[in-house]
Amino acid sequence: MLDYHRPSPQTRAVLPEECGEVHPRCIEMAEAMRELNGTSGGVRFADLIRAGFTSAEIVEFKEQAGKLATELSTRQISIRPDLMADIIEKARQAMPNRLPLPRDTKETQALVVAWGRYCAARGALLIDPWPSQRERCLTILSAYLDKLPIFPTARKAVLAAVDETLPKAVAQ
């Protein structure tokens, strides 16, 4: 049986100088809190005692360790801008919720609408391939690409790559 009232066998480290550094025991407590939260869904006082922290350490570091544990557990994810290969692949797939956005491009309503028009034209071409629909599809894609900050040669490369994958329309 564990005795929760006996002092911790660990000796307390010397406090770091008052220059904004985090105490090593606080960092240890933050890591313990992350682990406890992940395994049991929460952190109680008794859990920290069982993890080897004294009551004084818990009182002193619990708030700061909790904030640190949250910071360490939160990961910022940023979506990388689309490269040329990504733009070509997205244009070939034509999915309305995956519009190509190269570097320095923010998703705006105008871009979403233009991309949606292209996706609708591409879908119509797949259902009923005919020459005018194929040309319309490429024209709408070109209009979307004109809104992006890419070079004209890149636009031509995307159009050529998409043109290769479009169904060949047969005049009737």
Instruction: Give the pair of three-digit tokens for residue 72.
Output: 């360490």
- Rounded percentage of the chain residues whose pLDDT exceeds 70: 84
pTM of the entire predicted model = 0.56
Question: Do 65 and 59 meet the contact criterion of CB atoms below 8 Å apart?
Answer: no
Cβ atoms of residues 114 and 147 within 8 Å: yes
pLDDT of 51 higher than 50: yes
Distance separating alpha carbons of residues 126 and 140, to the nearest angstrom: 15
Cα 89 to Cα 153: distance, rounded to the nearest angstrom: 17
Query: How far apart are the C-alpha atoms of 160 and 171, rounded to whole Å?
Result: 21
Mean pLDDT of the chain: 85
Gap between the Cα atoms of 110 and 25, Å rounded: 53
State how far the Cα of 123 lies from the Cα of 127, in Å rounded to an integer. 6
